[in-house]
Amino acid sequence: MSRVFLIGAGPGDPELLTLKAARLLAQASVVLHDSLVDPRVIMLANARAKIIDVGKRCGRHSASQAEICVLLVEEAQTGQMVVRLKGGDPMIFGRATEEMEALRAAGIGFEVVPGITAASAAAAGTQVSLTQRGISRSLHIITGHGAEGGLPAHDYAALTKSGGTLAIYMGGETLPGLAAHFIEAGMEPTMPALLIENASQPTIRHLRGTIATLPGLHAARRASGPVLILIGEVLSEILVNTAVEHAFAG
Ligand SMILES: C[S@@+](CC[C@H](N)C(=O)[O-])C[C@H]1O[C@@H](n2cnc3c(N)ncnc32)[C@H](O)[C@@H]1O
- Compute the distance from residue 104 Cα to the ligand 1 centre, in Å: 26
Domains in the chain, CATH or no CATH each = 4-113 (3.40.1010.10), 118-248 (3.30.950.10)
One of 13, 34, 38, 89 is an active-site residue; which one? 34
pLDDT mean across residues, the chain: 91
What lines the ligand 1 site, CB under 6 Å? Answer: 11-12, 36, 58-59, 86-89, 92-94, 117-118, 169-170, 196, 198-201, 226-228
Nearest Cα to Cα of residue 55 among 36, 42, 81: 36
CA separation, residue 39 to residues 11, 34, 176 (Å): 12, 10, 32
User: Is the predicted pLDDT of residue 48 greater than 60, yes or no?
Assistant: yes
Q: How confident is the model at residue 238 (pLDDT cuts 50, 70, 90)?
A: confident
Q: Tell me which H or E stretch contains 208.
A: strand 205-210
Residue partners of 42: CB distance under 8 A and separation at least 6: 31, 33, 51, 85
pLDDT (average), residues 219-230: 90
pLDDT at position 247 over 80: no
Helix (H, G, I), strand (E, B) or coil at 213: coil
Are 87 and 21 a contacting pair, CB within 8 Å?
Answer: no
Q: Average the pLDDT over each of 29-38, 59-68, 161-170, 205-214 and give the range with the smallest value.
A: 59-68
Which atom of ligand 1 is the closest one to the Cα of 94?
6
Residue 65 in this model has a pLDDT that exceeds 90: no
Mean local confidence (pLDDT), 127-155: 94
Query: Is residue 246 classed as helix, strand or coil in its secondary structure?
Result: helix
| Separation in Å, CA 244 to CA 1, 28, 57, 172, 182 | 46, 39, 30, 23, 27
Q: Residues 185-221, buried b or exposed e (16+ Cβ, 10 A)?
A: eebeeebbbbbbbbbbbeebbbbbbbbbebbeebeee
Q: For position 62, what pLDDT does the model report?
A: 40
CB 167 within 8 A of CB 228: yes
